[in-house]
């Protein structure tokens, strides 16, 4: 049986799900339909009772460097750690990401089939999804570049379409050559596509031999292959992390798999392509309205999460994270509350949430990038209160984790332990603090906070000084190799 290497692309931003999704905590790390995040759901659909099929290799992920610990932690929480985490210094779209993954996959003379999946999609029927993968694997074994086209259920104008060509004889779900790729259509065109039954939504999921992809990218975009080869050759390896060489990857052209290879190869050599029809409850969760469409609804058509009171309300999506959200007489609205923001929009305007993110960027507002709770490789911190020359944070340090050895030019800090045990380095002194004990870190003093225990360490930190920004950190030692 063909060996399949799942390659999960986890570099998206997901701005249309603001305020839940932020620049530093995008939608693939969110649990939008339950307790499992979209990234973990991508892993889950590959497994049976938590295990990969025997012909599947441990998965690889490609993500932005700043998300590396989020990716690793969520995979470990799910119980299926990534074999390799390929770190991009900046985004260059899907074609370079897949090319770097293919180059890493063939090291040692291997040539697995690459199952490329975005990390931020929902698929409700994992069994049908795996049936389609089995069909696609047989076609990929013939050297074809395979994509998966979702059988459309509505004349969507927000998706690209794939026109079906000659039918293929592979067993399982319907498979065809690719006749053409179509851009996002106008409403009338989408209705015509739907009526013919000969078009599929382009889901952005691909399956092909690593060697087949590298041959294709060399034919159509040798400049991308050359830049990616230099980035992988010059990469540094640190455990599970593969850090692509920054200068080489920065010089790589940005392009998608579709534009770089799939569209031209479908035009010139359609016999090298295949599209497998996918009917598995797919959604790209591209907006709040699309999340409403795929979520379980109450008898009044409402989708609610958290502490919500909805009276005489119909067909709304109402999410509450930190406080009671009460609505009366509302219809077809999206209402999303987080500890630092509330967003209200008609469901029909849900795609326009990106305009809010653009406004936040123009204003230099941190709500575009960060939640009140900020995730770090060692744990989290959360703003509690702030005022002139002071700031209060709640800090959680995971067992065995530690902050960097650091100092601040502009602020002093008071630490009060509320749960667990802290090991504190303050200048030349190293000592332990337990619950209800505290210490003071003077301005300019070298210090470190560690959790030597087996339960999470929670402290309250009170900062005081002339400047309290997160960039007032000078690191001397850091186990996570941050700058």
- Long-range contacts of the stretch 21-26 (C-beta < 8 A, 24+): 22/367, 22/368, 22/369, 22/370, 22/371, 23/368, 23/369, 23/370, 24/66, 24/67, 24/369, 24/370, 24/374, 24/375, 25/70, 25/370, 25/371, 25/375, 26/67, 26/120
Q: What is the pLDDT of residues 92-132, one digit of tens each?
A: 999 999 999 999 999 988 999 999 999 999 999 999 999 99
Structure confidence at residue 14 as a pLDDT band (50, 70, 90): low
Four-CA torsion 382, 386, 389, 391, nearest 10 degrees = -20
Beta strand extents in 210-249 (DSSP E only): 236-238, 241-243
DSSP-assigned states of every residue in 342-356: EEEEEGGGGGGHHHH
At residue 81, the pLDDT reads 86
Stretch among 130-144, 342-356, 468-482 having the lowest mean pLDDT: 468-482
Tell me the per-residue pLDDT of 221-275, one tens digit each, with 9 for 90 and over.
999 999 999 999 999 988 889 999 999 999 999 999 999 999 999 999 999 999 9
Which pLDDT score is estimated for 433? 97
**Full strand arrangement of the beta sheet holding 341-346:** 303-305, 317-320, 333-338, 341-346
Are residues 319 and 335 in contact, defined by beta-carbon separation less than 8 angstroms? yes
The CA distance from 103 to 230, in Å, is: 10
Handedness of CA 475, 400, 238, 36 (dihedral sign): negative
Q: Residue 158 has what pLDDT? A: 87
User: How many whole angstroms separate alpha carbon 425 and alpha carbon 324?
Assistant: 41
Element (H, E) at 228: helix 222-233
DSSP string, 46-111: T-BTTB--TTBPPPEEEEEGGGHHHHHHHHHHHT---SEEEEESS---HHHHHHHHHHHHTTTS--
> Counting Cβ atoms within 10 Å, is residue 173 exposed (0-12), middle (13-18) or buried (19+)?
buried
Give per-residue pLDDT as tens, 22-72.
988 899 998 887 788 999 999 999 998 889 999 999 999 999 988 888 898
What is the C-alpha to C-alpha distance for residues 351 and 385, in angstroms, rounded to an integer? Answer: 33
For the cut 80, the answer to whether the pLDDT of residue 173 exceeds it is yes
Burial of 19 (0-12, 13-18, 19+ CB in 10 A): buried
- Specify the DSSP element, H or E, that contains 127: helix 126-140
Whole-Å CA distances, 274 to 160, 208, 459: 16, 10, 56
Phi-psi region of 172 (alpha: psi -120 to 50; beta: other; left: phi over 0): left
d(CA 341, CA 357): 12
Q: Is the pLDDT of residue 308 over 90?
A: yes
pLDDT in tens, 329-355: 999 999 999 999 999 999 999 889 999
Determine the pLDDT at residue 483. 67
Mean pLDDT, rounded, for 363-368 = 92
Strands 379-387 and 373-376: antiparallel
The pLDDT value recorded for residue 33 is: 76
CA pair distance 413, 291, nearest whole angstrom: 42
Considering the domain 373-477 in this protein, what is its CATH number? 2.60.120.10
Identify the helix (H) or strand (E) that includes residue 392.
strand 390-397
- Burial class, 293, CB count within 10 angstroms (exposed 0-12 / middle 13-18 / buried 19+): middle
First to last CA, the chain: 44
Pairing of strands 145-150, 429-433: unpaired
Q: Convert the pLDDT of each residue in 390-423 to its tens digit.
A: 999 999 999 999 999 999 999 999 999 999 999 9
- The pTM of this model reads 0.88
Class of domain 4-283: alpha beta
In the predicted model, what is the mean pLDDT of the chain?
Answer: 93
Q: Whose CA is closest to 257, among 247, 270, 266?
A: 266
Domain boundaries, given as residue ranges, for the chain: 4-283, 295-361, 373-477
Cα 168 to Cα 323: distance, rounded to the nearest angstrom: 54
Its sign, for the CA torsion 122, 125, 126, 128, is: negative
Range with the lowest mean pLDDT among 90-99, 363-372, 458-467?
A: 363-372
Arithmetic mean of pLDDT, 139-156: 95
Residue 175 CA to residue 166 CA, distance in Å, equals 9
At residue 456, does pLDDT exceed 90?
A: yes
Q: Which of 67, 116, 122, 124 is nearest to 91 (CA)?
A: 67
Query: What is the reported pLDDT for 471?
Result: 87
Instruction: Express as a percent the part of the chain with pLDDT over 70.
Output: 100
Dist. CA 15–CA 12, nearest whole Å: 9
State how far the alpha carbon of 361 is from the alpha carbons of 6, 30, 365, 461, in Å: 35, 22, 6, 29
231 vs 287, more confident = 231
CA dihedral 227, 228, 234, 237 (to 10 degrees): 160
């Amino acid at each position: 049986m063909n060996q399949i290497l799942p390659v999960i692309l986890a570099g998206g931003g997901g701005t249309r799900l603001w305020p839940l999704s932020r620049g530093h905590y995008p939608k693939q790390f969110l649990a939008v339909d339950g307790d499992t995040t979209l990234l973990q759901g991508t892993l889950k659909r590959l497994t049976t009772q938590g295990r990969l099929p025997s012909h599947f290799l441990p998965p690889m992920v490609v993500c932005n460097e700043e998300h590396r610990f989020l990716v690793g932690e969520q995979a470990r929480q799910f119980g299926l750690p990534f074999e390799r985490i390929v770190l991009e210094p900046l985004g260059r779209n899907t074609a370079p990401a897949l090319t770097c993954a293919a180059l890493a996959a063939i090291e040692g003379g291997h040539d697995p089939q690459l199952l490329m999946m975005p990390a931020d999609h929902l698929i409700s029927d994992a069994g049908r999804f795996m049936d389609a993968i089995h069909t696609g694997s047989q076609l990929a074994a013939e050297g074809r570049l395979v994509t998966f086209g979702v059988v459309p259920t509505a004349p969507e104008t927000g998706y690209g379409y794939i026109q079906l060509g000659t039918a293929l004889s592979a067993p399982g779900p319907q498979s065809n050559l690719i006749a053409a790729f179509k851009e996002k259509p106008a409403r009338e065109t989408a209705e015509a596509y739907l009526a013919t039954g000969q078009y599929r939504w382009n889901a952005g999921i691909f399956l092909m031999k690593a060697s087949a992809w590298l041959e294709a990218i060399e034919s159509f975009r040798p400049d991308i292959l050359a830049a990616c080869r230099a980035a992988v050759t010059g990469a540094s390896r640190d455990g599970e992390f593969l850090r692509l060489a920054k200068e080489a990857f920065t010089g790589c052209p940005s392009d998608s798999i579709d534009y770089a290879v799939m569209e031209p190869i479908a035009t010139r050599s359609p016999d090298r392509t295949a599209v497998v029809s996918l009917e598995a409850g797919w959604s790209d969760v591209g907006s709040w309205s699309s999340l409403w469409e795929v979520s379980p609804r109450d008898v009044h058509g409402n989708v609610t999460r958290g502490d919500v009171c909805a009276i005489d309300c119909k067909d709304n999506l109402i999410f509450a994270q930190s406080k009671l959200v009460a609505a009366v007489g509302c219809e077809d609205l999206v209402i999303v509350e987080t500890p630092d923001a509330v967003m209200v929009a008609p469901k029909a305007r849900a795609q326009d949430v990106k305009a809010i993110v653009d406004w936040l960027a123009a204003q230099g507002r941190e709500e575009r990038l960060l939640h009140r709770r900020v995730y770090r490789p060692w744990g989290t911190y959360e703003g509690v209160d702030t005022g002139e020359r002071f700031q209060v944070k709640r800090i959680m340090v995971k067992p065995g984790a530690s902050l960097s050895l650091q100092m601040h030019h502009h602020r002093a800090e008071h630490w009060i332990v509320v749960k667990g045990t802290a090991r504190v380095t303050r200048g030349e002194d190293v000592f332990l603090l337990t619950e209800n004990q505290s210490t003071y870190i003077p301005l300019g003093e070298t210090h470190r906070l560690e959790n030597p225990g087996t339960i999470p360490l929670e402290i309250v930190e009170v900062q005081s000084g002339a400047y309290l920004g997160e960039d007032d950190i000078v690191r001397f030692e850091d186990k996570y190799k941050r700058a």
